[in-house]
Amino acid sequence: MSFSIGIVGLPNVGKSTLFKALTKKQVDASNYPFCTIEPNVGVVAVPDERLDKLSKLNNSEKTISTTIEFVDIAGLVKGASKGEGLGNKFLANIREVDAILQVVRRFNDPNVVHVHGIVNPKSDREVINMELILADLETLNKSLEKINSQMKGPHDKILDKQKSIFEKIKLNLESGKLISEIELDTEEKFIIKSFNFLTLKPMLYVYNVDENEVNDQPADGIAICAKIESELVELDSQSAKEYMETLGMQETGLNKLIKESYKALNLITFLTSGPKESRAWTIEKGTKAPQAAGKIHTDFEKGFIRAEVINWQDLLDCGGEVSAKEKGLIRLEGKDYIFQDGDVTVFRFAN
C-alpha cells in the first residue's frame, strides 16, 4: 500500500525546494504497477532499517519498500477557493490525497519576498486553512442544493440524515472550524467520506526554518530546513551522515515527515522476508490477519488459514527462521489476530 500527501503553502515558503529534496531519490515507478507519475508527483521509497536488516539476513534477491507519494500543489494565494491563481486546478489535485502537508515559512531571507510582506507563520496557516474551508463550503452547498431538490419528492431516511449532517458541518465551517475538528460519530464519518472534503483529511504542518533552528521541535508540527535537505540529497550516504553530525541532526527531514505521516494516518508496517524477496507492507493500525493477508493478494484473504508471526527483532536475534522455530518464537495466529508494527509473517491459505 502506498499513500499520498499533498504539499500546499503560500508562494515563496520553500515548498517546491522541499518537494525536490524529498523526491530527489524517487523510486522507479515501474516497480509499482499502479503508480502514475506526473510532473508534480514524486514517489519515494519509505526508509526502513528493519527491512534492510531482514533482507541482509535472508540474502534476499529483491528488497521492496512501501512507498509514499508527494504531490506538489502550485502555491496557494488568498482567493484560491474561488479560482484565484491556480485555484481550481489545485483543488482537483488535492482532493484525492490521503493527507495534506502545509509548508509554513519561518525562515528569514531578505532576498525572498513574502507574499504578505512579513514572515508570520500563524497568519499563513490561517490563510491556507480558510481557503480549504471555503472550498469545502462550496462543495457542501452544492450537495445541499441537490439534497433539497431530491427531498421535494419521495425519498428515504438516508437523505434526511445527510441533510442533518451537512447542515451541522456547514455551521462549523462558517465559524472557521476544520471538519476534522468537528465531533462526528462513525455513521456520520461514513456518510461524508465519499465527498473527499479537504478539511477532513489529516493535516501536517512543516515549518521551513533557518539552519540554526533545524533541531527545534514545534509542538504543533515539524521543523525542517528545506535548504539543508536539498544539500543532503546531493551527498553520498557517508558525507550526508557527517554533515548531519556537524549540525546535530539525528535524522533527515524525510524520515521525520514519514514518521509523522504514519501517526496522522494511523498506519503501521508488517514485513515478509525470504531468499527471493524482502518486502514492507503498510496497513492501518487495528487490521486483522486476513485483511493484512489481502494486502498481498485477495486470494490470501479469501483462503486464509493462519499466519506464522514473529517480531522482526526476535527474528534477527535468532539469526533466522530455523532457530526461531526451535526456540518457539514463531507464533501461529488465527483470523482474530491484530497485526502489530514490525511483525514478520508467512501466511498460510487454501487455494
Q: What is the pLDDT of residues 177-197, one digit of tens each?
A: 999 999 999 999 999 998 999
Phi-psi region of 196 (alpha: psi -120 to 50; beta: other; left: phi over 0): left
Supply the mean pLDDT for the chain. 88
311-320 pLDDT tens trace: 999 999 999 9
Distance of CA 221 to the CA centre of its chain: 14
219-264 pLDDT tens trace: 899 999 999 999 998 999 899 999 999 999 999 998 999 999 999 9
The secondary structure of residue 40, as a DSSP letter, is: T
> In sequence order, which ranges of 175-252 are alpha helices (DSSP H)?
186-193, 226-232, 237-247
76-101 pLDDT tens trace: 666 655 554 444 556 667 888 999 99
Query: CA-CA distance, 102 to 10, in Å (whole number)?
Result: 9
Element (H, E) at 169: helix 157-174
pLDDT of residue 118: 85
pLDDT of residue 217: 86
118-153 pLDDT tens trace: 889 999 999 999 988 988 998 899 999 998 888 887
Query: CA-CA distance, 319 to 241, in Å (whole number)?
Result: 28
pLDDT of residue 152: 83
Query: CA-CA distance, 293 to 300, in Å (whole number)?
Result: 5
Strand partners, 48: none
Q: Where residue 41 falls among pLDDT bands split at 50, 70, 90?
A: confident
Q: Domains for the chain: give ranges and CATH numbers.
A: 286-349 (3.10.20.30)
Mean pLDDT is lowest, of 20-24, 194-198, 294-298, for 20-24
pTM above 0.95, yes or no: no
